[in-house]
Structure 1
Amino acid sequence: MGKQFDGLKTTHRRFIEDQKIFFVATAMNKGYINLSPKGMDAFRIIDPNTAIWLNLTGSGNETAGHLKFDKRMTVMFCAFEGKPIILRLYGEASVYHKRDAFWKDHIGLFPHIPGSRQLILLKINMVQTSCGMGVPLMDYKKERLLLESWAEDKGEEGIKDYWALKNTITLDGLPTDIFEDKQ
């Protein structure tokens, strides 16, 4: 049986900092549920009830589209090494773009990663841990640098062209507001 907490404890924070991957889930009342793996150095804990992650360019932009209409988000971490544990953060999230003051105030929390697309702020209202005994043990080898190389090769204008082609609407046809003039 899982244990629930009102916010992140020090042990939770240490666990999160040790993980190489996390998963983000969002959904609308109808349509497709989005569940995306995230990696790289893209997650920060601000305080026991606030986290922020750097959303990188991807083949879609479901999270931003969903959060425009329904702020619910779950972030999950699970141990593939060491003690088995699954940790979920439940809360409400907001999306910030390069054009927003929030971006300018918080992007310094992260290393420069080409293709950075949005900052997602999660206000955590519940933390849940469970055993994770069914999660396989796997060894971490290294980060894939393919996304960074791809984004560097495209350049800033090429990334914007890609966003226009692939990141302006969700699978269900919802707007993502990736460009200011789309609001």
Structure 2
Amino acid sequence: MLKVQEIRELIKLIDQSTIDEFTYETNGTTVTMKKSTATKVSEPQLTEIIEKSQAIETENKPNAVVEVEKNIQTAENAQEQVQAQVNYDAEIVSPMVGTFYRAPNPESDPFVSVGTSVSSETTVCIVEAMKLFNEIEAEVSGEIVEILVKDGELVEYGQPLFRVKSM
């Protein structure tokens, strides 16, 4: 059975190499690793997988190999989900701390919705700071693909508000 340290070393070696897919077999144990050049599994996800593998190893489960392979498959699925989520070219961020509003007043329609085309001068929202209502412009051209903040929510400086796909 592979030890956690051996799995870590394999992951590091594959990560540092240009190899996209790797299969390792020893003593009836098979480990398959695949990577994408666009995005990698994040450090927290990798840490979680290693912790699960350590727990399996310490419990001496007879199906430990199967469990490790499932954890590696989970990491690959997480990586694919991250890739699928990257469906935008730019983010519109808050230029200040304040309260986010999608519309000029509660009775009005929102400035933009998912699917709305915007230009760099298009007002996309209002951020209220110290009783001043600041209209925020897109500063990019494209189509709104995701709204990341709820109406009335507090936002921080630099916090992403919208995701935009260039057309």
TM-score range, shorter chain: under 0.3
Rg larger in structure: 2
With a CA cutoff of 8 Å and minimum separation of 6, indicate the structure with the bigger relative contact order. Answer: 1
